Amino acid sequence: MTSLTTQLSEEPRIKGFILLTSLMSRLGREHKNLEPVEEFILFQGLMGVLAILPFAVWRFWSGNIEQGMVDLLIVVFMVVIGAYVFATGRYRLAGIIFTMTYSLGMVLSVYVRGTELLFWAYPVTLACYFTVRLKEATAISLMCLALVTWLIRDIVEPSEMLRFVVTYVLVAMFAFIFARRVHHDRVRLSVAATVDSLTGAGNRRAMDDEIESVVSSFSRRPMPVSLVLFDIDHFKRINDNHGHGVGDQFLQRFVEFMQVLLRRNEKLFRLGGEEFVVIVEGDVQEAQNLADQIRHLLEKTRLIPGLSVTVSVGVAQLREKEDSRDWMKRADDALYRAKHYGRNQVCSATTN
């Protein structure tokens, strides 16, 4: 009984230690690993603490306990959520909770102090559009507007109410437009950084990130996953005999051909030159069947009129405790055997 009581009393300490350990490990990472939304949440948390905590202390000191408690609760939530995001990197739900916290904190402040703190509505709605998605930010902003106008309906003149509503809507509108533009620019830059400009397949950087993610997920929850490495046979002859323009056109049509045959969850990447990689959620036999189907269809298909092209393929299933480099090397070794034994065939690495 005593040991059980001790275990229960130690559980919160253990959870706290795990979170602290995760936080310290994240502190050791490079700053570039933080997502932009993570950075903004952490920035808001820091600025919120620096801006609100002095008011909380001053209000407690001056005897304004209610408003002091509101300010202190907002600060505590900001610190907890900021620490959680930094330690885990999970900012999606945390961002919504974070935004709801300071938005409802603003509404509660207006409820306690009236129009004296109404000006906080403007920075709150601006922050919404840089923390959560546009639809969510718009919904939260409209909710805040409805609650605040309802709270002050009996204490302000209609003309003053109208001025507040109009200025609040204008601030929200400009924030929406700016955040939408930033989002589109971010998507465009992300595509430029992760998509091969010639073929539209994922590029080497995107492939490396995806493979690392797959290996990390596999270490937590082992599910069969295989790497399929394609190499277009004698591609140099196409460039030498028909020109680089035809070679580029063939690569583009090859990617289109592959994407028709691949399932939605199978991602295609260009490793470089005429080499392509597909990550298949399945064991080595499933991956080999897919590879052989693609090889067989390509052999009978003329992607460029009058040009017959084949492909050699290497397949490797991810093994337990295997890192991304070794996984790729086994697939590359299998590809080498396929080329060594005459090309236009599929070879698989052993899974033992």
Q: What is the mean pLDDT of residues 330-337?
A: 95
Is 30 a residue whose pLDDT tops 50?
no
Q: How far apart, in Å, are the Cα atoms of 335 and each of 233, 311, 330?
A: 11, 10, 9
pLDDT one-digit tens code per residue, 235-274: 999 999 999 999 999 999 999 999 999 988 899 999 999 9
Q: What is the dihedral of CA 276, 279, 282, 285, to 10 degrees?
A: 20
Q: How far apart, in Å, are the Cα atoms of 351 and each of 83, 252, 319, 330?
A: 41, 33, 7, 10
89/8: higher pLDDT? 89
Cα–Cα distance, 101 to 104 (Å, whole number): 5
pLDDT one-digit tens code per residue, 288-324: 999 999 999 999 999 999 899 999 999 999 999 899 9
Cβ pair 315, 228 in contact under 8 A: yes
Smallest Cα–Cα separation from 90: which of 81, 103, 99? 81
Is 28 a residue whose pLDDT tops 70?
no
- The percentage of the chain sitting over the pLDDT mark of 90, rounded to a whole number, equals 52
Ranking 48-52, 208-212, 334-338 by mean pLDDT, the lowest is: 48-52
pLDDT in the model for residue 94 = 76
The confidence band for 33, taking pLDDT boundaries of 50, 70 and 90, is low
pLDDT one-digit tens code per residue, 95-123: 788 788 888 888 988 888 888 888 889 99
Cα–Cα distance, 134 to 179 (Å, whole number): 8
Cα–Cα distance, 102 to 137 (Å, whole number): 13
pLDDT in the model for residue 24 = 40
Q: What is the dihedral of CA 284, 287, 292, 294, to 10 degrees?
A: -170
Helix H, strand E, coil C: the string for the chain is CHHHHHHHHHHHHHHHHHHHHHHHHHHCCCHHHCCHHHHHHHHHHHHHHHHHHHHHHHHHHCCCHHHHHHHHHHHHHHHHHHHHHHHHCCCHHHHHHHHHHHHHHHHHHHHHHHHHHHHHHHHHHHHHHHHCCHHHHHHHHHHHHHHHHHHCCCCCCHHHHHHHHHHHHHHHHHHHHHHHHHHHHHHHHHHHHHECCCCCCECHHHHHHHHHHHHHHHHHCCCCCEEEEEEECCHHHHHHHHCHHHHHHHHHHHHHHHHHHCCCCCEEEEEECCEEEEEECCCHHHHHHHHHHHHHHHHHCCCECCECCCEEEEEEECCCCCCHHHHHHHHHHHHHHHHHCCCCCEEECCCC
The confidence band for 350, taking pLDDT boundaries of 50, 70 and 90, is confident
pLDDT in the model for residue 19 = 42
Domain ranges of the chain: 34-194, 204-348
pLDDT in the model for residue 120 = 87
Is 177 a residue whose pLDDT tops 60?
yes
Checking 60-69 for CB contacts under 8 A at 24+ apart, the result is: 66/112, 67/109, 67/112, 67/113
100/4: higher pLDDT? 100
pLDDT one-digit tens code per residue, 183-193: 888 888 878 88
Which CATH fold would you assign to the domain 204-348?
Answer: Alpha-Beta Plaits (3.30.70)
pLDDT one-digit tens code per residue, 136-167: 999 999 999 999 999 999 888 999 999 999 99
pLDDT one-digit tens code per residue, 34-67: 666 677 777 777 777 787 888 888 888 988 888 7
Measured in whole angstroms, the distance separating CA 59 from the mean position of its chain's CA atoms is 40
Q: Which residues are CB-neighbours of 292 under 8 A, at least 6 positions away?
A: 313, 346
pLDDT in the model for residue 352 = 55
pLDDT in the model for residue 83 = 77
Q: What is the mean pLDDT of residues 206-227?
A: 91
